[in-house]
Structure formats: C-alpha cells, structure tokens
Amino acid sequence: MALLAMLSATAPTWSAPAPAVALPLVSPASGRCLDVKGNVDTPGTALDIWDCNDQVNQAFEFTSAGELRTMSGTRCVDTRDSQTAPGIPVIIWSCDGRSTQMWRQNSDGSVTSAQSGLCLDVNGAGTTNGTAVILWTCNGQSNQMWSKPIPPPGSGGSGPCDIYSEGGTPCVAAHSTVRALYGSYNGTLYQVRRSSDNATRDIGVLAPGGFANAAAQDSFCAGTSCVITAVYDQSGRGNDLWYQGSAQVPGSSQSSPAKATSESLTAGGTKAYSLYINPGNSYWRDGHLTGVPTGAAPEGAYMVTSGTHVNSGCCFDYGNSETTRKADAAGAMDAINFGTQCWFGGCAGSGPWVQADLEWGLYSGGSQSWNTNQRAFTSKFVTAMLKDNGTSRFALKGGNAQSGGLTTLWNGGLPSGYSPMKKQGAIVLGSGGDCCKPGGGANLSAGTFYEGAIVSGYPSDATDNAVQANVTAAGYR
C-alpha cells in the first residue's frame, strides 16, 4: 500500500529542534490528523486524532536522529511512562534522546517505535474526533497508516493524480479551478474571458503543485465581468473542457460559460474561484482517442463539489459521456451525478445525493429500488466518487471534503441491462449526456465544481481513502 513517501528532513542531534518542514500526518481511515490533544504544550499530553486544522499541534517532523517532533519542534512523541506494551497511550514529552522517542516511518505508511517495533495505532480503529492514539501490534490495517497530505504551495509533494498513479490507476483527465492535482504541475488551470473586450487570460498556479493564482483573475477582470470558457486538463492528454457553445465544441448551441466570480473560496490558505454552474452552463470534451476509457474498460472518477448549490434539474454530471451527445443506450454514460433529482424514488432524505448517471437512469444503487445505504451530503464541500469495472460491479462513495473519511453508498452489481458497459469516452461537466445540440435537453442543473479527475482502471479502496485524505488536507474553506 504505497500511500506516501517518507517525510524527508535534515536535522541536528536530539538536543536541538530540527529545522525540517513539519507537516500533518493524516489517518486515511478517517481523514483526520494526528493531534496533540487540546493543543496543550505540556509534557504528558496525549495524542489523538482530530479534524485537520493547520495548527502547530498537528505538525510533525521526523528528525535525522529518529525523533518525531511536534509543537514547533519543542516536544517529542513518546509513550506513557516510557512503557512499550500494546495499548500504552502515546504522548508528548521533553526531547531527551530516550529510546521510546525514536520512530520510523515505513514505506507502507505505518509509523513504528524503534524500541518496541509496535505501531502508532488509532485505538479500536476509531474514526471520530478525540479517539486516542496508542501503541499496538502492527497489523497492516488502515488505522495504523499515516499519509502525508499535500504540502503548502511551492514545496512540491503529491496530488490526487500522483496517488492514483501510485495505485496503478493513472488519471486520464484532471480538472480544477482551485489547485494542481499533481505535485509537479506548473501549467494553467482554466481560462477566463472578460466582457469589456472579449480578451482571454489563462489562470495558472502560484507555484508547482500549488493553488490557483486568483489575483491574476482579479486583476484581469477588474472593472468588468468575466466568464470561465475552459478548464484545462492537467494530465497532459489534452482533455480540456470547453463550454458547449464555443468554437471548440462544434455543433453545440444551447450552453453558455459560467460566470467566473460567482463564488470565491479559500484553499491552501489562498483565494480561489469555483466553477459555479447554473442552468444553461455546460462543458464537454471528446476524449475517446486520448485515454478516456471506452466500452467495458474499467474506470474511476472523483470530484469535489458542494452540497449548498444544487437543484433537481437534469443533470449535474462529471464523467464519461456520449461522443454523439445523444442518449444512446443504457451504459453509454459513466458519470458522477450530484443533485436533488431522484429518478426512481427511495433516496433517503431530501438530498443532494451522490449517484451514478449511467444513461437512461440516475442510480443511487444497483437497481431502481430503495438503497438503504444512500444518504444526503449537505456540507459546503463534498467529495463524490464513482468507479466501475465495466462488466459486473460499480461503487459509489461520498464524504465531507473538509474532514473525515468516505461513506460507501453502493458497492455491488451493475443495474440490470448495464452489463457490459458501453462507454463512449467523451467527458461532460455540468449537464447530462444529451446536451447541448439544437433540440437537446439535459442542461437544467445547478452545481459547483472545484476539482475532479477520471482514471483508467478500477481504483482500490486504499487509493480512494488516500485521495480523500489528500482532499481534506487541501484546506477547503
């Protein structure tokens, strides 16, 4: 399970704080951070897990001496009374070089005590805030894994598409108006066009692997209005999404670009803008020749969206769609759907829900009947995931994009009549598949898009969890 590389650091001996960059350690089981309880800088304070918050009590660094330091490098992770038996609480203590203050971060993501060989463990595999961290016999479970989130802008590191690649399911399309989805990406994120003179400007990142340069948009659009005409593909395959109605999408006429300044947010501590979709906005790309899976090939996708800007119009989708832009057949689409439209009934609550638009139906599970695992996601930032193996099964997952893990909403058989899948390999964002030719519909939805990717292959659950941990560490606010 290649969740991360070891945190690199150079440091003097144990008697002085290490100068290395301190970063959070995220439990992929919950998406929460290793935390000094209550942010109390007192020897003996216990460690637990808590919502990631960028405070000093959640910043840890491995020193060259083997310590795991925190609280701005002034305290060392230790065990209660320097004991080494399974179940002993893990605490902070004054750094003094004792053997129970020596730790190793392993290639699988576990952190072991050099003295006892036991693992840092979230007690009882708990996932809630305040769950204690203890020593326990290493067992390879996710509550003993600690993944490094994305570092601050400009410091490099991994993004969601690096994680997918490590899991053997590389991104074939990667889109965001907020941040780079690869640790090394230093290109453009999206294009804006201003109304005063129809000039365009590409908006890039502040630094490689970092966040959007929103100031460039603000400067360019000052005194006039702007729209987002394209969201660029970061995968290198050229799967850029242009609004339907542009010259880059021939034959489309019933779509317009989204306003560029409808919603600003903070991510990574910096300002960014979302792609704020209203009815009549839609984006598209024919990617069947540039790596987007077709036919019964396995595929996965995720997006970060919002539970506060939704409607029941058809259809706020992101994913695989028809190259014909017609409702061709069951299985011709394989897109994440998020909204308050429930075609077949039985969706719990009033939504919005994470569903699968597989064409000829929005599915909250494997059939047109009640799915008892379905639930609404109403938080400001939502992670939505879909994956299918193309022949027999698919899975739906959702979670809060600010904290916590993923909820599996469905993991089972494809609906009747959808095996094998008949994917065509286009990409749609903000509408259904049969949009936006003259006489076409499916362009009545409202939704928000911050980031997302489509991958080749069927991602593992461990990869899904690592992507969610990366998303929650991005600091959406």
**pLDDT higher than threshold 70 for residue 436:** yes
Q: Which two tokens stand for residue 255?
A: 């779509």
Give dist(CA 160, CA 57) in Å, integer.
25
Looking at the annotation, which residues are catalytic?
359, 434
Structural contact between residues 5 and 156, judged by C-beta atoms closer than 8 angstroms: no
**pLDDT higher than threshold 80 for residue 17:** no
Cα–Cα distances in angstroms (integers) from residue 352 to residues 178, 202, 348, 380, in the given order: 22, 32, 10, 12
How sure is the predictor about 201, in pLDDT bands with cuts at 50, 70 and 90? very high
**pLDDT higher than threshold 80 for residue 99:** yes
Structural contact between residues 325 and 252, judged by C-beta atoms closer than 8 angstroms: yes
What percent of the chain shows pLDDT beyond 70?
Answer: 92
Whole-number mean pLDDT of the chain? 89
**pLDDT higher than threshold 70 for residue 7:** no
What is the pLDDT at residue 30?
77
What is the pLDDT at residue 215?
95
Of 30-39, 72-81, 232-241, 357-366, the one with minimum mean pLDDT is: 30-39
Q: What is the dihedral of CA 465, 379, 272, 154, to 10 degrees?
A: -30
Q: Under 8 Å CB-to-CB from 248, ≥6 apart: which residues?
A: 230, 240, 242
What is the pLDDT at residue 3?
33
Residue carrying the six token digits 């704080």? 17
How sure is the predictor about 440, in pLDDT bands with cuts at 50, 70 and 90? low
List, for residues 316-335, the tens digit of each pLDDT value. Answer: 999 999 999 999 999 999 99
Domain ranges across the chain: 26-144, 160-473
What is the pLDDT at residue 240?
97
Q: Under 8 Å CB-to-CB from 78, ≥6 apart: which residues?
A: 90, 91, 92, 93, 98, 100, 101
**CA-wise closest residue to 432 among 314, 292, 291, 294:** 314
Region 226-242 average pLDDT: 97
What is the pLDDT at residue 23?
75
CATH class of 26-144: mainly beta
Q: Which fold has domain 160-473?
A: Jelly Rolls (2.60.120)
List, for residues 289-309, the tens digit of each pLDDT value. Answer: 999 999 999 999 999 999 999
What is the pLDDT at residue 177?
98
Q: Which two tokens stand for residue 364?
A: 């909250």
What is the pLDDT at residue 21?
52
List, for residues 32-53, the tens digit of each pLDDT value. Answer: 889 999 999 999 999 999 988 7
What is the pLDDT at residue 5?
33
What is the pLDDT at residue 6?
30
Region 419-434 average pLDDT: 96
What is the pLDDT at residue 73?
87
How sure is the predictor about 87, in pLDDT bands with cuts at 50, 70 and 90? very high
Cα–Cα distances in angstroms (integers) from residue 191 to residues 188, 213, 231, in the given order: 8, 12, 7
